[in-house]
Amino acid sequence: MKYDYEISKISSEGLMDFVKRAINLLMEGQVSETFILSSYKINTVLKQRFGKDFKVDRIGRALSRLAKQNKLKKLKTSVPKYELKKSSFRKFETSPQKK
């Protein structure tokens, strides 16, 4: 998918909203207790479900802020990944969609 200039103009709050919606979608079908979040996994959901092709580094920064706010455990890998426990997961609030 080609990078779209319009996507680069989306604010960080708008991107954060997309990241939260992607995490909510990922957690819907989750069976195991622990889920590993990464910017690449979220980017794949955004491409497939919303048709949005964000740069992975922007998604990573938004995920990092979200993880810090929710005190998620960071795993020691080359690509930043965060551990999300299903038992402590509550749906992330997203802003209402503008029409």
70: its two tokens:
């929710």
DSSP string, the chain: -PPPHHHHTS-HHHHHHHHHHHHHHHHHT--SSEEEEEHHHHHHHIIIII-----HHHHHHHHHHHHHHTTPEEE-SSS-EEEEETTT--PPP-PPPP-
Average pLDDT over residues 72-88: 88
Q: Are 20 and 96 in contact (CB under 8 A)?
A: no
pLDDT of residue 99: 42
Average pLDDT over residues 58-86: 90
Asked whether residue 94 carries a pLDDT value surpassing 50, the answer given is yes
Q: Which residue ranges form the domains of the chain, and what is each CATH number? A: 11-85 (1.10.10.10)
Q: Is pLDDT larger for residue 89 or for residue 5?
A: 89
Residue-wise pLDDT for 17-45, tens only, equals 899 899 989 888 788 888 999 999 999 99
